[in-house]
Amino acid sequence: MSIEFSKKLTAHETPIPGVVLYDLPVHGDNRGWFKENWQREKMVALGLPDFRPVQNNISFNEKAGTTRGIHAEPWDKFISVATGRIFGAWVDLREGPSFGAVFTAELDPSQAIFIPRGVGNAFQTLEDNTAYAYLVNDHWSADAQGQYTFLNLADETAAIQWPVPLADAELSDKDQAHPHLADVVPMPAKMILVVGADGQLGKALRELYDGDATVEFAGRAGFDLSSEASFAERNWENYSTIINAAAYTAVDTAETAEGRTAAWAVNVAAVSRLARTAVEHDLTLVHVSSDYVFDGVRESHDEAEPLTPLGVYGQTKAAGDAVVSVVPRHYIVRTSWVIGEGNNFVRTMASLAGRGIGPSVVNDQIGRLSFTADIAAGIRHLLESGGAYGTYNLSNDGEPQSWADIAADVYELSGRPRTAVTGVSTEEYFKGKAAAPRPLNSVLDLAKIQSTGFHPASVASRLKEYLS
């Protein structure tokens, strides 16, 4: 066998999404050869998913023509050849538009291939004494084998051109009995779990993902974030992502003894359980943050600004952000002044306008509204576009306003005079009241989320739609 030495580590895309063929540098001399079969730092830098292998398997095949497959397994694989040569064949057996796509290639020790979960894998040895090695990112078990998807080696649709005709090849009886493509049930995608799905953002996510069977919604009754049993009972290998839409948001009550306990339980302790689960099972964790993690001194807050919370609510949100930041695959989505389905400032002002009441509204706190439909859309954009993990500000766009400005807009859109709203300072408004400290400036810089191709609608357009 002739091996091409000193190839440059190179990635080659294939017709099957996520399946990538790699050239590996092999270094040889008169004694034999050496290669780095799996080198995490170099390969991740090249674009190979950091798939965290946990098991290394070797299949030794005594005779040329030995044929195995086609098996789609519930984990990712990184395949290479230790000795000999193979003809590899891969068929996409996942749900989706690429179902049935085929890729074939000959592999020797100077090549490797990454096969995502759900892509059918098969090979035929081209030389005697061929050793086929592969890394996987989940442990094999009898239960896991029940989640395999199979395809017949001789399927007419895939039409794989085996170098050794199947009639002359070494096959198992099981492999010969697998179904043809028309009878294959595609392997479903991993699930997204939305926790806190009954709140304002949860309802917007329900509407956005309506009809998508890969998204599961759990309110407090369906998933108790305070219970270790809720975490232990779920098979996390079936999930790719958790979206945390749960939060304790009673800003003023959080300053009381009872409220402080509740805020830390939901915004920090529960988030810690989610983060631990995400790390242990290599999940993406999406967490929603708040402008209250800042003291409001700066005119505009970008994602790099140090956290400077003023009150208990802000402190718990900042602590939650710090916890989530250690998850390798995380998105912290920072919002301000959230408006969705349920009780909120805009609904309150519209109700007062309808009853002819002229309110006094704070005029020295500046920011932008964040409508839950846009927060939900931004989260989906980050997940589907594969945006870099990290923190993203996400509010609606437009000129910053005070709460009094927004109240006046609501009155005008409701057919009432803007002058019905009286502006007062934060100090005047809360004089004599037990209230949490609030940042005076909550304007979030949107440049980072916009650089990913997501452009939130203006507050003015969303407010008009909301009220109509």
Would the pLDDT of 377 be above 90? yes
**Nearest partner of 158 among 72, 67, 86, 90, judged by Cα:** 90
In a domain, residue 5? The reply is no
What are the catalytic residues? 71, 134
Percent of the chain with pLDDT over 70: 99
In a domain, residue 257? The reply is yes
Arithmetic mean of pLDDT, 318-334: 97
Q: Are residues 227 and 314 in the same domain?
A: yes
Q: What is the dihedral of CA 210, 211, 214, 218, to 10 degrees?
A: 50
pTM value? Answer: 0.87
State the pLDDT confidence band at 130, using cuts at 50, 70 and 90: very high
Distance between CA atoms of residues 62 and 156, nearest Å? 28
Q: Are residues 123 and 202 in the same domain?
A: no
pLDDT one-digit tens code per residue, 29-85: 878 889 899 999 999 999 998 888 999 999 999 999 999 999 999 999 999 999 999
Q: Final residue of a domain: which of 150, 166, 183?
A: 183
Q: Are residues 283 and 376 in the same domain?
A: yes
Fill in the DSSP letter of residue 243: E
Domain count, the chain: 2
Helix boundaries (H) for 301-371: 312-324, 345-354
Please state, rounded to an integer, the average pLDDT across all residues of the chain.
Answer: 94
pLDDT at 32: 87
Q: Final residue of a domain: which of 183, 212, 228?
A: 183
Q: Are residues 163 and 215 in the same domain?
A: no
Burial 60-79 (b: 16+ CB within 10 A, else e): ebeebbbbbbbbbbbbbbbb
Distance between CA atoms of residues 170 and 163, nearest Å? 13
Q: Are residues 128 and 240 in the same domain?
A: no
Arithmetic mean of pLDDT, 303-332: 97
Q: What is the dihedral of CA 267, 273, 276, 278, to 10 degrees?
A: -80
Q: Are residues 154 and 200 in the same domain?
A: no
Residue 339: both structure tokens together: 């408006």
In a domain, residue 3? The reply is no
pLDDT at 13: 95
pLDDT at 250: 94
Distance between CA atoms of residues 113 and 106, nearest Å? 11
Q: Domain holding 173: CATH number?
A: 2.60.120.10
Q: Are residues 177 and 68 in the same domain?
A: yes
Expressed as residue numbers, the domain containing 307 is 191-467
Q: Domain holding 255: CATH number?
A: 3.40.50.720
293 in Cβ contact with 318 (< 8 Å): yes
Q: Are residues 173 and 71 in the same domain?
A: yes
